[in-house]
Amino acid sequence: MIAAVGTDIEDIERFRKKPFDESHRFYERLFSKEEIKYCLKFKDPYPHFAGRFCAKEAMVKAASFMGKFFVTDFQVQKAKDGAPLVALWKNRHSVKKFFLLYCCFVSISHTNNMALAFVTIEVNPEAKNSA
């Protein structure tokens, strides 16, 4: 059962105006080391930074029904099949609890100028059956 959805859209230029070499602290506040490493392996890392930021923002919006979350609570990883997935970044009790109760699905897309992400949150059937 779908519990919530969230979406976010960002202008990639916003990230291009903050070159990583000059603004690494900005990126280190928003992204995990793994996310930064992933984005920097591309010739143009900024669409990837913007897409991941959108996914985190969409996650915060979708998860808001369960409390206050921050973009720094989550990180975007790659599943074995290459699909993006949202995972725990900061080790807060409320975030751990969230991932026990719900499954999250994320879709990220971008053009040369804009990045977009959608997050769908579903009730974890295993959590429901164990309650």
Domain 2-130 classified CATH 3.40.30.10? no
Query: Angle between the 33-40 and 46-63 helix axes, to the nearest 10 degrees?
Result: 140
Q: Under a CB-based contact definition with an 8 Å cutoff, are residues 57 and 117 in contact? A: yes
Q: For 56-79, what is each residue's pLDDT tens digit?
A: 999 999 999 988 899 999 999 999
In Å, how far are 8, 89, 99 from 74, measured between CA atoms?
15, 5, 11
pTM, full prediction: 0.90
Q: For 9-21, what is each residue's pLDDT tens digit?
A: 999 999 999 999 9
Spell out the domain ranges in the chain.
2-130
Distance CA 31, CA 127 (A): 29
